Amino acid sequence: MKFAMAALVRRSTSLNVSKVFGLRHFTASITQLQNVSSSKTLSKPGVPNIVLVEGVRIPFLMSGTTYANLMPHDLARNALLGLVKRTGLDKDSVDYIIMGTVIQEVKTSNVAREAALGAGFSEKIPAHTVTQACISSNQAISSAIGLIASGNCDAVIAGGVEFMSDVPIRVSRKMRKLMLTLNKAKKLPQKLSLISQMLSPSALTPELPAVAEFSTGETMGHSADRLASAFSISRKEQDEYAARSHQLAFEASEKGLLTDLVPYKVPGKAETVSKDNGVRPSSLEKLSKLKPAFIKPHGSITAANSSFLTDGASACLVMSEKKALELGFKPKAYLRDYVYVSQDPKDQLLLGPAYATPKVLEKAGLKMSDISVFEYHEAFAGQILANLKAMESDWFAATYMNRTSKVGAPELSKFNLWGGSLSLGHPFGATGVRLVTTTANRLHKEGGQYGLVAACAAGGIGHGMIVEAYPN
């Protein structure tokens, strides 16, 4: 699928972003449970209500900073411990643990299991790791929902972790073949011949990981630059949106709204980490001076209007409503309908939210006007603005989505009001839990009923989910 670039630029709706800018426990009887369940408009007959009890995350830090000497399972373990402490959870009441990650540490390939054991969960509790690029912990949550809905589990911890301070760097494929052959060689001349081949530059050159599409060979930053150009999104608009994200994150932090944060005392460090360290409000004048990061010199994607490499972990407790109330928990939210979408990874790599939003709304029987809280993953400012323009375009809806009319873009007055991935950080495997937890927290803070989570991911994949506030 290829964009008709000129036509798209002409028809895309203009969007000027510069104009808009202790878990409580209680004891519930079965009668109370029935009353609560029957009153929910999105409850489905014969399907158990599934709830988010609580979600937490350790502070998200720029890679190469305070977490640099740790390992991924250290971060994930402390997210799990933070969840246990926040909720007072009896570890034996958990049936399963699922965590998402993208770039795996080879020594702990099933990082969910290693983190669970390190956090003191019973060895009898199964755990597995999922990977789905930037929506890995979204997948962990929906996998938890599936286990509960099917009756296999009552309580599942879903989370995610990413550790960009120390990613696996492999020796070259040629070197790997030579080493494997050397291991089988029996005669000295053959061994010497193989060793001499190992000393060649082509064998010694390592393979570095890259945030790039295997199918296209293109980095995500290049894709974002082309997408911004296709939708005629200016550098100024992108810098304005990035400045908005950082300012809102700063204000949310100062006001104590980011209650999903749990402190982390890093071994060997004097101070306990209690805040994200990538939030940096800045002026448009400063942002405008940065040079393009990917397509040089004419691109519009810079380091400041892109999400940065981040270390972090998150965890949330997902339960059947019945089990949660039996154990004395007051849930935060109902986890309702969700969808996964996918499209062309070449020209539509980052448009997952535009495709997922109308689908999940239709599945839930809701309209855009029913949504009080929007939490979308911010990979790049240009990516967010491209999605909003796509959602405002009747032509895009008809041409690429087989829809009769546009779904409409969210109002920015409801959109990512506590900052987003551009400012808070984006540990690939952990962001989904942050999005869902923030949606639940905002619904209660702002008095809304429904929230919508959406995110794009590598491979042209996208995700959308409806979150419903639990009654006070």
Percent of the chain with pLDDT over 70: 91
Amino acid at 116: A
Q: Across residues 103-110, what is the average pLDDT?
A: 93
Dist. CA 93–CA 328, nearest whole Å: 12
Domains of the chain: 23-166+308-466 (3.40.47.10)
Give the chain's end-to-end CA distance (angstroms, integer): 47
Percent of the chain with pLDDT over 90: 83
- Residue among 471, 431, 465, 464 nearest 448 (CA): 471
The reported pTM is 0.90
Residue 171 confidence class, pLDDT cut points 50, 70, 90: confident
Dist. CA 104–CA 172, nearest whole Å: 18
99 by Cβ neighbours in 10 Å (0-12 / 13-18 / 19+) ranks as: buried
Residue pair 462/455 in contact (Cβ under 8 Å)? The answer is yes
- Residue among 412, 419, 424, 362 nearest 387 (CA): 412
Question: How much is the pLDDT for 15?
Answer: 55
Least confident of 66-80, 94-108, 142-156, 194-208: 194-208
Dist. CA 126–CA 367, nearest whole Å: 39
Residue pair 124/185 in contact (Cβ under 8 Å)? The answer is no
Q: Tell me which DSSP letter residue 380 carries.
A: B
What CA–CA distances, in Å, run from 285 to 10, 90, 239, 288, 294?
29, 52, 9, 5, 21
Element (H, E) at 173: helix 173-184
Residue 21 scores a pLDDT above 80: no
What is the per-residue pLDDT across 240-290, written as a single tens digit (0 to 9) for each? 999 999 999 999 999 999 999 999 999 999 999 999 999 999 999 999 999
**456 is an active site residue:** yes
Question: How much is the pLDDT for 240?
Answer: 98
The structure tokens listed for 287 are 């942002």
Q: Across residues 378-387, what is the average pLDDT?
A: 98
- Residue among 70, 141, 59 nearest 100 (CA): 141
Residue with the bigger pLDDT between 312 and 217: it is: 312
Q: Across residues 221-233, what is the average pLDDT?
A: 96
Q: Which residues contact 416 (CB under 8 A, 6 or more apart)?
A: 245, 248, 374, 375, 376, 378
- Residue among 242, 298, 220, 268 nearest 67 (CA): 268
Q: Which of 456, 458, 466, 467 is catalytic?
A: 456
What is the per-residue pLDDT across 283-323, written as a single tens digit (0 to 9) for each? 999 999 999 999 999 999 999 999 999 999 999 999 999 99
Q: Which of 81, 134, 319, 457 is catalytic?
A: 134
Question: How much is the pLDDT for 26?
Answer: 34
Dist. CA 98–CA 308, nearest whole Å: 25
Element (H, E) at 434: helix 431-446
Residue 207 confidence class, pLDDT cut points 50, 70, 90: confident
- Residue among 131, 46, 127 nearest 80 (CA): 127
Q: Which residues contact 466 (CB under 8 A, 6 or more apart)?
A: 42, 336, 337, 338, 360, 361, 364, 366, 450, 451, 452
What CA–CA distances, in Å, run from 397 to 199, 200, 400, 405, 447?
56, 54, 6, 6, 32
Neighbours of 333 (CB within 10 A): 24
Q: Across residues 339-366, what is the average pLDDT?
A: 97
Question: How much is the pLDDT for 386?
Answer: 98
Residue 208 confidence class, pLDDT cut points 50, 70, 90: confident
DSSP lists the bridge partners of residue 98 as 128, 158
What CA–CA distances, in Å, run from 10 to 13, 229, 410, 466?
8, 12, 21, 32
